[in-house]
Amino acid sequence: MDNVGAVRVAAALAAEIAGGFGPRDERPVSIVAHDADAVVGGLNGATHWGWCYIRQLWVRQDWRRRGLGLRLLAEAEVFAHTLRCKGLYVDTFDAGAARFYERAGFARIGQIDDFPPGHARIFLNKTLV
């Protein structure tokens, strides 16, 4: 399939989903942490249907274990609150990352074993009040 075909399929599916479930009302989320001119961490995602999806959370190796990841999550929560989101959700292949999210108040809600081979894709969410 070429790119034009892929775009048409995506648009057709989006229209059908919006007809059944309402518009996504998607908004991007991007939070970047700097040390001087260097990027030392960041979070990317999107809000849709009243939830905030954390697509990527990264902290540079030498900045880990300093609370930066938790601060990035806290900023994402504030953003989600301002848009009246019900919660946040994330998935990861990394068991250590899953434990990090659990320490931040996320709950495991499922997983796919052996995806990627030898590992599990773990799904977590956190409901906002």
The candidate with the shortest Cα–Cα distance to 128, out of 67, 71, 84, is 84
**Strand pairing of 87-92 and 51-59?**
parallel
- First-to-last C-alpha distance (Å) of the chain: 44
CA 123 to chain centre: 10
> Does residue 105 have a pLDDT over 90?
yes
Condensed to tens digits (0 to 9), the pLDDT of residues 75-102 reads 999 999 999 999 999 999 999 999 999 9
Mean pLDDT of 49-66: 97
CATH number at 25-127: 3.40.630.30
Query: pLDDT for 7-28, tens place per residue?
Result: 999 999 989 999 999 888 899 9
Q: Sign (positive/negative) of CA torsion 34, 50, 81, 96? A: negative
